[in-house]
Amino acid sequence: MSTSGLQKSSLQYAKSIQHSLELMSRKSITPQDAGCQDWLISKLSALGFECHQFEVEGVKNLIASIGEGDRTVAFAGHTDVVPPGPLDKWRVDPFNPELIGDELIGRGAADMKTGVAAMLAAAQRVLTPGTKLNNRFLWLITSDEEGEAEFGSKEIKKYLDACGIKLDHCIIGEPTAKSATGDTIKVGRRGAISGRIHVSGKQGHVAYPQYADNAIHKMAKVIEAMSSIEWDTGSVDFPGTSLQITHIDSGAFTDNIVPASCKICFNIRYSHKYDMVALEHLIKEKVSEVTQEFELQWERPCAPYFTQHKHQSSLIASIERAIFSNTGRYPVLSTAGGTSDGRFFSDDHTQVVEIGVPNKTIHQVNERIHLSDLATLEDIYTDLLSELLM
């Protein structure tokens, strides 16, 4: 890193560093919020935001709003973090963050308290007294993204729908970069769903298989049918669909008994070419080719999302411009990785893009980022807000 970068991060960007330290010192292990949102409310209210906080099943959600206009721009994110893991492996107390050299270290340094901090610093830079916003600016913050995510952003979306608020642009501050802020942004994610299948047979003695019906043998054919499905292979922009069997269980084992029951678990990662209804139909059809007697259960569905350049006012293009003017590079548009809260906000109307700091150390012990990455993020957000809100 250059010396000028160092000066930049330690002086001009003291605000996003200070905000990060404030948030990271609150022990908000999912779904706890530990006062992060109350602190944000005090800062956002001072800027003129109207803040509405509500709790669902122990999950705290915050919607803050300022400005009016034809366009609604949202910043979305979470204040919860994953547990620290083995404390003796940390160089610092994970909830007493420290600046060591040019790095900020502590839980949430990448995922994603620095994202929230950079967004707050950017909002403070843009919303100076007397500034007139031509559009509406929302903050959508939850304390449960890392957990089940059942009562977080999903509930926020429900609330927005009930108020008739449609988002045009939604920027999520999740860590998306590979090695430097701005090198990669996420414009979509694959969907995910897990399922269980149970097939029954008839128990018997291994020496008399003619009187038994082996459930494992039957399940082997089910697995064969499921793994022979030809999925879409994806495109340059979006990875294809895949199904993996993740568990098999035929109950207690005895070496002279033909088992009467077999269960499998599986997980499907799917592209935007499928939806849940189509997948459920396809799997049912495949299993039915083998047996009519089975139970099929679905769990943890997460829809995919995919934002493209095609919109008239393209959020991707705005973000590319802001990144280019701060780093001199254009980002890689990625759809890789697990699921994210983007799925709750994305639809035909709402463009969702995730842009944040490098994600190399997320969920690890000694989670950390370089201060220059935080500074760059604050600059990118500032340019973005100036373009989208004014």
Task: Give the pair of three-digit tokens for residue 207.
Answer: 């020496």
Q: How far is the CB of 145 from Zn ion (least distance, A)?
A: 5
Closer of 155 and 354 to Zn ion (Cβ): 354
Beta bridge partners of 296: 197
Closer of 111 and 155 to Zn ion (Cβ): 111
Closer of 81 and 133 to Zn ion (Cβ): 81
Is residue 143 within 8 Å of 32, Cβ to Cβ?
Answer: yes
Active site residue 38: no
Task: Give the pair of three-digit tokens for residue 193.
Answer: 């769903």
Tell me which amino acid residue 66 is. Answer: I
Least Cα distance to 362 among 25, 109, 70 occurs for 109
- 226 in helix, strand or coil? helix
For residues 136-175, which are near Zn ion according to CB under 5 A? 174
**CA-based torsion, 284, 240, 247, 215: positive or negative:** positive
Instruction: Give the contacts of 239 (CB within 8 A, at least 6 positions apart).
Output: 190, 269, 271, 335, 336
Closer of 95 and 266 to Zn ion (Cβ): 95
Expressed in angstroms, the distance from the first to the final Cα of the chain is 33
Closer of 174 and 373 to Zn ion (Cβ): 174
Active site residue 80: yes
Q: How far is the CB of 76 from Zn ion (least distance, A)?
A: 11
Q: How far is the CB of 383 from Zn ion (least distance, A)?
A: 23
Q: Distances from the Cα of 75 to the Cαs of 64, 120, 140, in angstroms?
A: 10, 10, 6
Is residue 232 within 8 Å of 240, Cβ to Cβ?
Answer: yes
Q: Give the Cα separation of 21 and 117 in Å (integer).
A: 9
33, 111, 144, 145: the catalytic one is 145
Q: How far is the CB of 340 from Zn ion (least distance, A)?
A: 7
Q: How far is the CB of 87 from Zn ion (least distance, A)?
A: 21
For residues 105-134, which are near Zn ion according to CB under 5 A? 111-112
Is residue 288 within 8 Å of 199, Cβ to Cβ?
Answer: no
367 binds Zn ion (CB under 5 A): no
33, 80, 168, 367: the catalytic one is 80
Question: Considering CB under 5 A, how many residues would be counted as binding Zn ion?
Answer: 3
Stretch that binds Zn ion, among 104-112, 165-173, 292-300, 320-328 (CB under 5 A): 104-112
DSSP, residue by residue, 63-90? EEEE--SS-EEEEEEE--B-----GGG-
Closer of 111 and 383 to Zn ion (Cβ): 111
Q: How far is the CB of 174 from Zn ion (least distance, A)?
A: 5
Binding site for Zn ion (CB under 5 A): 111-112, 174
- Residues known to be catalytic: 80, 145
